[in-house]
Amino acid sequence: MINTNEILNKYRLKLTKSLGQNFLTDINILKKIADAGDLTQEDLVLEIGPGIGALTVVMAQKAGSVIAVELDKNLMPALKFTTGSYKNITIINDDILKVNVNALIGSWKGPVKIISNLPYYVTTPVIMMFLENNLPIERMVIMVQKEVAQRMSASPGTKEYGALSVGVQAAGDVKSLFNVSCNCFIPKPDVDSSVVRIMIHDKYQKMINDRQVFLNCVKAAFLKRRKTLINAMSSYPELNLKREKVKEIIAAMKLKETIRGEELSVEQFIQLANLVSDF
C-alpha cells in the first residue's frame, strides 16, 4: 500500500485546494471502489485525477489496462514512482476536459470503465462530458461529494432534483453504493463523500430525436427553477420558442400550465424535447 504522507514528504508536494486534491488513504475504501468496477483482464479503466496513484495501483492488479489522466504536473514524479512497476498503467499529464477520449480508448476491444475519485471542482463537467458524448463506456464508478451523489439519484419534485439528475439518469442506472468519511482523506475535506455507480444504457438515448434540443430543454427548465416551464422555455434563447408555442406543447403533453421543470420525469423531458424538435 502507498504511504501517502511518506510520498508527499519524499517529493515535497504541496496539495492544491483549487485542484480538489484530497487523497484517499483508506485501503479498504480503495478496494471497495475497485471491486465496484467488477474488474477483469478484459477491462480498460480510465481514471481522472489519480493523484499519487493509490487507487491506480489497486485497479491495475485486476484490470487489463489503466489509463490515468492527471492535470497537475507537480505530481508526475511521485505518480510515476508509485505506478512504475505496473506495465499496464499509462500516465497522461493533461486536462481530461481537453483530451480526445476516443483516441485514448483506441481500438480496445473489451469493456471501458471510468473509475475515479473525481476532483470536486470538475465533478459535474467531467461526468456530463462522458455521458453526453456517446463514448463506449460500460459503467462509471466515481467518488463525489455526498451532496452531488444525492442530486444524481434524486427524484422529480425534490429539492435535489435538477439538470444533473436528468442528464445522468437519461444515460444510465444510478446507484449510491456507500459513503466515505472526510477522515479518510489527506488533507481532510470539509464534506463527506459518496461512491456512485452509473451503469450506462441506451434505453433513453434511443428515444431522443435530437440530443441538443433535449439538453437545451433540460438546461432551460432548471436555469431558473422557480419559473414555470412555459416561462423558462420561452425565455431560453437557444430554443427560440414563442410563449404560445410552448403552451401548445405543454397542452399536448396534458400538463398544467403552471408546471415547473423540477416536476418532470426523465421520460417527460424526452417527450417534451421530441415535441419541441418536431415543431
Q: Report the 3 state secondary structure along 140-203.
A: EEEEEEHHHHHHHCCCCCCCCCCHHHHHHHCCEEEEEEEEECHHHEECCCCCCEEEEEEEECCC
pLDDT for 55: 96
CB 30 within 8 A of CB 58: yes
pLDDT for 17: 60
Tell me the pTM: 0.93
Cis ω for the linkage preceding 50 (within 30 of 0): no
pLDDT for 16: 66
- Centroid of chain to Cα 64: 23
pLDDT for 18: 57
Given CATH 1.20.1630.10, say whether it is the number of domain 208-278: no
Residue ranges per structural domain of the chain: 4-201, 208-278
CB 218 within 8 A of CB 165: no
Determine the topology of domain 4-201 in CATH. Answer: Rossmann fold (3.40.50)
Q: What is the mean pLDDT of each run of 10 residues along the chain (279 residues)?
A: 76 67 89 98 97 95 97 93 96 96 93 94 92 91 96 96 97 97 89 96 93 96 94 96 96 97 97 93
pLDDT for 190: 87
| Angle at CA of residue 264, ends 201 and 129, nearest 5° | 40
CB 18 within 8 A of CB 43: no
